[in-house]
Structure 1
Amino acid sequence: MKIIRVEAIPYAIPYTKPLRFASGEVHTAEHVLIRVHTDEGLVGVADAPPRPFTYGETQASVTGVIERIFTPHLLGLDVFSRERIHAVLHRTVGNPAAKSALDMALWDLAGQSCGRSVTELLGGWADRMRVSHMLGFDTPRRVVEEAERIRATYGISVFKVKVGRRPVRADLDVCRALRETLGDDVELYVDGNRGWTASESAAALRELDDLGLTLAEELCPADDVLGRRRLVRDCRVPFVADESATTSAEVTRSLLDGDATTISIKTARTGFTGSQHVLHLCEGLGAAVVMGNQIDGQLGTVCTVTFGAAHAASSQRAGELSNFLDMSDDLLTEPLTISDGTLAVPHGPGLGVVIDDDKLVRYRQDR
């Protein structure tokens, strides 16, 4: 089954409210839909969500590198020759979202061709995951109101709280209000997106110690080598590396150097192939993982739950699978549904999704 055409389609869908966190603010999902066409008539799809303030990619860079650099070397290659295809992609440095989307579209094609879901091909551990919901910057009252609404509507009881603001007190008050209002049956963890210093992070964790937080993610920059190492050494909960550990090599250095004890896996950043490399590396080193969110829409969320549900190790914690709830619309013909705090892997071969062509026409940015 040969690759005969690759499309990189930029599209934009507004959020119902802005997403605010230490490394940026997002009002519109400006993503790129990837479609890989084959000589057998099958089309694989995936989503590339650029994060310019984290990885340096934009819509223009994703479409440009795929159309001008990658596609000319991919045409005519067999879909199942993933090692050869990855060798082509890795000749170009960076561009993680563009490379990952191509990888996942190829896995979608592999599943379609043999009539099995990608979850089954990757490991087949489960058919769903528990969901964690991300709470962005806002006042304590508004954050608590959102958490209560999400719990009542979707049965979600795991919340990732964005922190990293100055003054630090603003975030501490939010965390305390959540615990006091939601009670002890709700899981809370924090993500700083490198917004605090190591000393600020240590002081904040000491003050939040009685809240029973379960994870602390990227509270300070990994560039502060000694400060970060001291923080992780003294941290009483697992410390998660996310944007500071984006490749297998970075994950290895992060864990062995004491920069983190747990790793966030994002399929939008490492695809399915690279994510398996990271997962197996973490298993070998005895480090836990959490399935992260790269401001994904529904298609990106499908990829996350597809991978997370496929493996025992990535299914242990709730995955960050609800970001799409804040989008005003999406591209799938069958919208995702979160119920009883879980999200199921779509039925059907490959990723099990179909793109709504009318919506794509409405939201695409290149016409």
Structure 2
Amino acid sequence: MKIVAIEAIPFVIPYRKPLRFASGEVRTADHVLVRVHTDDGVIGVAEAPPRPYTYGETQDSIVAVIAKIFAPELVGLPLLGREVRYARLERTVGNPTAKAAIDMACWDAMGKTLDLSVTEMLGGYTDRLRVSHMVGFASDEAMVADAERVRDTYGITTFKVKVGRRPVSLDVGACRALRNALGPDVELYVDGNRGWTPAEAARALTAMADLDLTLSEELCPADDVLGRRWLTARTTIPTVADESAVNPGQVTRELLDGAATMISIKTARTGFSTSQRILHQCEGLGAEIVMGNQIDGQVGTACSVAFGAAHRHSSRRAGELSNFLDMADDLLTEPLEISDGELTARSGPGIGIAIDPDKLAQYRTDNV
């Protein structure tokens, strides 16, 4: 089982409505489909979503780094040579989603070769996750309507509310409107995407003290070291590190510095291999995790639920797995379905998904 080729295929699928948040907005899924081919004829697939405002990657940069740097380093390696593959990818600084997609496509190919699901290979703890839905910036009425629609249609009762606007009162009012409309039995937590200063974040959390928020994520900038530590020390709401903890070293620093008490794991940026390293770190340090969302399509979401369901530590909380619902279309032959607030990991070999060739031909942008 050797890697004989790696493809990076850019594609664009529009969203029905944009997702807006403090660091930007997403109107189209301008992602990259990564395919890893083996000498046995097996093809593993995964998805790389560029987020230039967070990691500096673009669709063009992902395609280029895979074609010009990563593929030449990895072609010819054994598919099971995970540590060699990891070492060669880590020679290059940055490019997290390109590396993650290659890693997950290799795991998909391994599962297909061995006739095992990725969830089984990673741990096999359960076969499903509860789903959390992200609510982006809009008027209070529109945010409430979005949450009510998702709750009533899909049975989702956990919501991550995007905050970080100025004035702070906009987000405090939105969270209050959501709590009043959805009632006490729905879980609400907030994500600032680094939009507030520590002082603004502290003021907002104080103003929302009666709303029973369960988590607060990246309310202020990742490099505001002292401010983040000060904010985490003065609140009883668990603080989730996301963009500030994208590799094992950063995870250790965030937790030991007291800048965070929980970690968001996103397979779109750390794949399966590094995500598992981070998960075991968090277990050892006594830190909870939440399965995050990189505004993934259905390919990326299938990867997230495959990983999250595989481990006890990552299956405890609802995972952020619903944003593909706002895409106008997707690439899978069998679309993912959320039912009763849960998403089930596919039981077939690998990640358990297949790409529709007609849809890929329709949405790819490289004119092949």
- Cα deviation for residue 50 of structure 1 reads 0.6
Tell me what 2:134 maps to.
134
> Do residues 284 (structure 1) and 284 (structure 2) align?
yes
1:255–1:261 CA contact under 8 A, matched in 2: yes
What's the % identity of the aligned pairs? 66
Deviations 1:237-262 (A, max 9, x none): 11000001100000000000011000
Aligned length: 367
Corresponding position of 2:258? 258
**Root-mean-square deviation (CA), in Å?**
0.6
Partners of 1:77 and 1:211 in 2: CA distance: 53
Range moving further from structure 2, 81-90 or 190-199: 81-90
TM-score (norm 1): 0.99
User: Residue 350 of structure 1 aligns with which residue?
Assistant: 350
Give the CA deviation at 1:155.
Answer: 0.2
Aligned to 2:20: 20
Q: Does 1:335 align with 2:312?
A: no
- CA distance in 2 between counterparts of 1:308 and 1:302 reads 10
CA distance in 1, matches of 2:37, 2:226: 49
Q: Give the equivalent residue in structure 2 for 1:178.
A: 178
CA contact (8 A) 2:133 2:321 kept: yes
Partner of 2:130: helix, strand, or coil?
strand
**The residue matched to 2:325 in structure 1 has which SS?**
helix
- 2:108 is the alignment partner of 1:108: yes
The one-letter code matched in structure 2 to 1:40 is D
Q: Does residue 38 of structure 2 align to residue 38 of structure 1?
A: yes
Whole-Å separation in 1 of the counterparts to 2:82 and 2:251: 22
CA distance in structure 1 between the partners assigned to 2:109 and 2:357 by the alignment: 19
Alignment of 1:273-312 (within 5 A): 273-312=273-312
Cα distance in 2 for partners of 1:72, 1:146 equals 45
Q: 1:222–1:259: 8 Å Cα contact kept in structure 2?
A: no
Distance in 1 (CA, whole Å) between partners of 2:71 and 2:269 is 19
**Do the aligned partners of 2:222 and 2:243 also contact (CA within 8 Å) in 1?**
no
| CA distance in 2 between partners of 1:73 and 1:138 (Å) | 45
1:347 Cα deviation after fit: 2.0
Deviation at 1:292, TM superposition (A): 0.1
State whether structure 2 residue 319 is matched by structure 1 residue 319: yes
**Structure 2 unmatched ranges of 5 or more:** none
Contact 2:5 2:36 in 1 (8 A): yes
Give 1:343 shift.
0.2
Q: Would you identify which runs of 4 or more consecutive aligned residues in structure 1 move more than 3 Å?
A: none
Matching residue of 2:231: 231
Q: Deviations over 1:24-64 (max 9, x none)?
A: 01110000000011110100000000100000000111000
Q: Equivalent residue for 1:188?
A: 188
- Tell me if the contact between 1:247 and 1:278 (Cα under 8 Å) persists in the aligned partners: yes
Contact 1:215 1:237 in 2 (8 A): yes
Q: Distance in 2 between matches of 1:103 and 1:224?
A: 31
1:222 shift after superposition: 2.7
Structure-2 residue corresponding to 1:2: 2
Q: Which runs of 5+ in 1 are unaligned?
A: none
Pick which of 222-231 and 320-329 moved more.
222-231
CA contact under 8 A between 2:8 and 2:67: conserved in structure 1? yes
